Amino acid sequence: MTQLVTADEIKAIEAYTINEAGLSAAVLTERAAMATLQVLAAGRFDLSNVLVLAGLGGNGADGVALARLLHQAKIPVTLQFVGNVNRASQAVKEQLHAATLCGVQRAEKSDFKEPSLIIDAIFGTGLNKDLPEGLQKMLKAANHIDNTVVALDLPTGIDANTGEIRGAALKAKATIAFGFEKVGCEKAQGKKMAGRVIPQDIGLVLPEDFIFSIQ
């Protein structure tokens, strides 16, 4: 059975990796994007027209980095932000700068029927309240369209600890879990919404005395 973690645990491990081991968040974001590219390129997904839906925090930064890597690998990809990019984190803005210089195409609004694959990089472990109404409507509409979604870290709208749906959640065919699978992907509606969970190592450093709360 794969090791499961809570949101607090993964945040503590990430903080230790950044603050003690000295690997920056940007390094971890790049590792997450590279690990995702590896999974996508393994042949199980139709990469003929990829749409990356990016949020404004760490999950979004992963998505923008992935869009850059897909573009550099000559895979057709479009990047669409969910939310006002002017309010994005510094990490997202830095990723967007690099992606733009590489020539990554932006979309303001997409028809969710068009893409061969949708990457959910909107919210991850930082989800802390119900999704905004407008986003709830968008996700519920997307769930009714026959498309393939791969979620980064967690399906957007799923609580990392309880697996509950926070207003709405985007149903994924697969979820790429960075470092360790979040326990919410095995609980309540999280299990159904996450699809096949694929844990991927991103080089996190565990404190030597670290004890997982879920054995």
Q: Is 57 in the site for ligand LP7C6HRI (CB under 6 A)?
A: yes
Q: Is 151 in the site for K ion (CB under 5 A)?
A: yes
Residue 192 Cβ, how far from ligand LP7C6HRI at the closest point, in Å? 19
The count of chain residues that interact with K ion, using the rule CB under 5 A, is 6
Give the whole-angstrom CA distance, residue 10 versus residue 195. Answer: 21
Q: Is there a binding annotation on residue 59?
A: yes
Give the whole-angstrom CA distance, residue 114 versus residue 188. Answer: 31
Task: Determine contact, residues 159/189, Cβ cutoff 8 Å.
Answer: no
Q: Is 29 in the site for K ion (CB under 5 A)?
A: no
Phi, psi of 133 (to 5 degrees): -45, -50
Residue 113 Cβ, how far from ligand LP7C6HRI at the closest point, in Å? 26
Q: Is 129 in the site for ligand LP7C6HRI (CB under 6 A)?
A: yes
Q: Tell me which of K ion, ligand LP7C6HRI, none is bound by residue 151, counting a contact when its beta carbon lies within the kind-specific cut-off of 5 to 8 angstroms.
A: K ion
Our CB check for K ion shows the closer of 156 and 189 to be 156
Q: Is 127 in the site for ligand LP7C6HRI (CB under 6 A)?
A: yes
Q: Is 156 in the site for K ion (CB under 5 A)?
A: yes
Cα 80–chain centre separation: 14
Give the whole-angstrom CA distance, residue 75 versus residue 133. Answer: 33
Q: Is 152 in the site for K ion (CB under 5 A)?
A: yes
Angle between helices 90-102 and 58-72 (to 10 degrees): 10
Q: What residues contact 152, with CB distance under 8 A and at least 6 apart? A: 32, 36, 59, 62, 63, 66, 119, 120, 121, 124, 175, 176, 178
Our CB check for K ion shows the closer of 57 and 124 to be 124
Output the CA angle 1-177-44, nearest 5 degrees. Answer: 95
Residue 8 Cβ, how far from ligand LP7C6HRI at the closest point, in Å? 12
Give the interface with ligand LP7C6HRI as residue ranges (CB under 6 A).
Answer: 14, 18, 25, 28-29, 32, 55-60, 62, 123-132, 152-153, 178
Detail the residues annotated as belonging to a binding site for (6S)-NADPHX: 58-62, 124-130, 153
